[in-house]
Chain A
Amino acid sequence: MTLTVVNNATCTFCGCVCDDIELHADDVRIVKAKKACVLGTAWFLNHTAERKYPDALIDGKEATLDEAIEVAATYLHEADMPLVYGMSNTTCEAQRECVALADLLGGLLDSHTSL
C-alpha cells in the first residue's frame, strides 16, 4: 500500500471551494485532509475507492453499466417531456454534457437553484 500526498487539492463540500487542502491517501481511502474544516474533513474521509455498490441497478436488480446506459437512453428517448435535473455534486464537464443531453432530447433542464 502506497501513501500518496496531493497538494493544493480542492474541496467541493461547500461554496468556499477551498483549493489549499493537503490530502494523504492510500489506495482506497483518504486518511488525512490538512487545512480542511470539520465539514471538509468529513467529506474527504467518508468517501472511499471501494466497490461498495453494484455498477448499476435496473428496477432494483443488479445490471451492467452497458445495459443501464441503453435502458436509460430508451426511457429518455421515448418520453415526451423528459427532465434533466440536479447537477449540484458534479463537475462542470458533466454539467456541459447534461445541457447537451437536454438539448438533444428537447427536454427540461433545471438545477437545485430553482428550489
Chain B
Amino acid sequence: MGGKVTCTLGEVKNRGDFIIYWGGNPAECHPRHFTKYALMPKSKFLPNGRKDRTVVLVDIRPTKSAKAADIFLQVRPGKDFELITILRAMIKDQKISAEAVAETGVTLEQCTDLVARMKKAKFGCVFFGMGLSMTRGKHMNSAALLTLAAEMNAFTKFVAMPMRGHGNVTGADVVMRWQTGYPFGITFNRGYPRYNPGEFSTVDVLVRGDADAAFIIGADPGATMPQPAIDHLARIPTIVLDPHITHTSKLSRVHITTAVAGISAPGTAYRMDEIPLPLKPALKSPYPTDEEVVRRIKESIAKKPFWMPDGAQMIAAQV
C-alpha cells in the first residue's frame, strides 16, 4: 500500500460514517462510488445508509457532487495545501492566525466545525481526486492530506484513499512496485531500477529530448501531453499498442492493434483500493492481446545481443 493509511472500499461501505471528498467530482467521474460504497449502501454498521453518514465536499467550485454532500467547503484555487496544514494544526489545538485561514477561502467557523466532526467520527475516510493532486503543490498536497489522515488516528479511526482515474492505473502502480520497488518514474539504465520523478518521468524525459525510442501502451500521450513532448515523440521511433488508431499512432513508426482489456481480452485489473479483480471479456477479438504482443517483442529482443556487455543482474518476470 506504499505506506498510506488506507482501507478497502468494503470497509468504507460497512463502517465509514464520515466521508470527505477533496478535489474530486465522483458524481460525474466515478458515478457508482456513491451508490456502491461511500454514501448510499445500507450496511452492517450503518444500517440506515445515507442517514448514518456525514458527507463533506472540498473543491474550488460547487460541482454536481456538491448536491450529494451535507457540507460544501469552497477552497480558493491553489490553497489546498494551506487548508490541510491549518486543519493539521487545529486537530492538535495549535494556534493559527486568522489571516492564514482567510486566505484559504474557508472561514474559521467552518474549519472548527469540520475538525469537531472529524474527531467525533467513528470511521473517517477522505477520498482525494485530481483537483488536489494535479494542481499547485501536486504530490505535496496528497502527502499533506495523507499525513492529516494518519494524524487523525490519535483521535479516531481515519483513512485516506486516492480516487484513481480511468482504466487500470492502479494496477500499473502495483505491478511496478511489486517488480521494481517503485511505482513510476523508473530507469533501468544501470541494470537495476532507480526512481526519480522529474528526472525519469515521461513528460520531463520527452521535453528534454532524452529518450531515443518510445514504446506506448494503453495510453495516448499524443492527445494529453504538452506539445514539446509530442514533438519529440514524432521525432524518435515510437511504437504504439492500442485497440484504436490514436493520435499517438498517427505520429508513430509502428502501430499494432490489440484487443480491448475487459471487453475482448482477459486478465486482471486493480480497483482504486488496490483490490485485484478478474476481467470477464464478453467478446472475442480478431486482434491479439497486449500481453501476447509485448511478450513477443520482448522475446525477439532477447535473441539480440544484450545491451550491457558484461551482463547485469536481471529481475525475471515472476509467474
Say whether A associates with B.
yes
- A residues near B, CB below 8 A? 4, 6, 8-19, 23, 25, 27-30, 37-40, 43-44, 47-51, 53-59, 65, 68-73, 75-115
A49 to B295, CA, bound (A): 23
Interface assignment of B135: CB less than 8 Å from any CB of chain A: no
Interface residues of B in 108-166 (CB under 8 A from A): 134, 163-166
Binds A, one of B50-58, B64-72, B241-249: B241-249
* 29 A-B pairs in the complex with CB atoms less than 8 angstroms apart: A6-B280, A9-B262, A15-B30, A15-B272, A47-B243, A49-B264, A53-B257, A55-B256, A58-B253, A69-B256, A73-B297, A82-B214, A83-B211, A86-B217, A86-B219, A87-B169, A88-B167, A88-B218, A89-B168, A90-B218, A92-B168, A92-B268, A100-B179, A100-B316, A101-B298, A107-B189, A111-B172, A111-B173, A114-B184
Pick the residue among B187, B255, B294, B312 that contacts A97 (CB under 8 A).
B294
Nearest residue in A to B165 (C-beta to C-beta)? A15
Q: Does B276 contact A (CB under 8 A)?
A: yes
Please give the distance in Å from A40's CB to the nearest CB on chain B: 8
Asked if B285 is at the interface of the complex by the 8 Å CB criterion, the answer is yes
Decide: A10 and B280 in contact? CB cutoff 8 A: yes
From B184, B203, B282, give the contact of A111 (CB < 8 A).
Answer: B184
Residues of the B chain whose Cβ atoms lie less than 8 Å from the Cβ of A37? 31-32
Contacts of B312 in A (CB 8 A): 106
Given contacts A54-B257, A92-B267, A92-B276, 6 further A-B contacts (CB under 8 A): A15-B165, A53-B245, A76-B213, A81-B189, A85-B202, A88-B169
Complex CA distance for A80 and B209, rounded to whole angstroms: 13
Q: Is B317 an interface residue (CB 8 A)?
A: yes
Instruction: Say yes or no: B314 contacts A104, CB within 8 Å.
Output: yes
List residues of chain B with CB within 8 A of the CB of A97. Answer: 290-291, 294-295, 298, 317
- In Å, the complex CA distance between A92 and B294 comes to 12
A69 B296 Cβ-Cβ under 8 A: yes
B224 within 8 Å of A by Cβ?
yes
Range of interface residues on B (Cβ < 8 Å) = 35 or more
Q: Which residue of A lies closest to B248 (CB)?
A: A86
Query: Are A107 and B188 also in contact (CB < 8 A) when A39-B31, A89-B166 are?
Result: yes
Judged by a CB distance under 8 angstroms, whether B239 is at the interface is yes
- CA A82 – CA B254 in complex, angstroms? 15
Inter-chain contact A29/B283, CB cutoff 8 Å: yes
B234–chain A nearest beta-carbon distance, Å:
12
CB within 8 Å of A: which residues of B? 29-33, 36-37, 134, 163-176, 179-180, 183-191, 193, 197, 200-203, 205-206, 210-219, 221, 224-225, 236-237, 239, 243-245, 249, 252-257, 260-272, 275-280, 282-291, 293-298, 300-302, 304, 307-308, 312, 314-318
Whole-angstrom CA separation of A81 from B267 in the bound complex: 30
| Complex alpha-carbon distance, A75 and B213, angstroms | 7
Cα(A104)–Cα(B189), bound, Å? 10
Knowing A10-B279, A86-B219, say if A91 contacts B290 (CB, 8 Å).
yes
- Residue in chain A with minimal CB distance to B220: A86
Instruction: Indicate if the CB atoms of A91 and B171 lie closer than 8 Å.
Output: yes
B191 touches A106 (CB 8 A): yes
Minimal beta-carbon separation of B312 from chain A (angstroms): 8
Considering the chains assembled together, what is the distance between the CA atoms of A14 and B286 in angstroms?
Answer: 25
Contacting pair B171 A75 (CB below 8 A): no
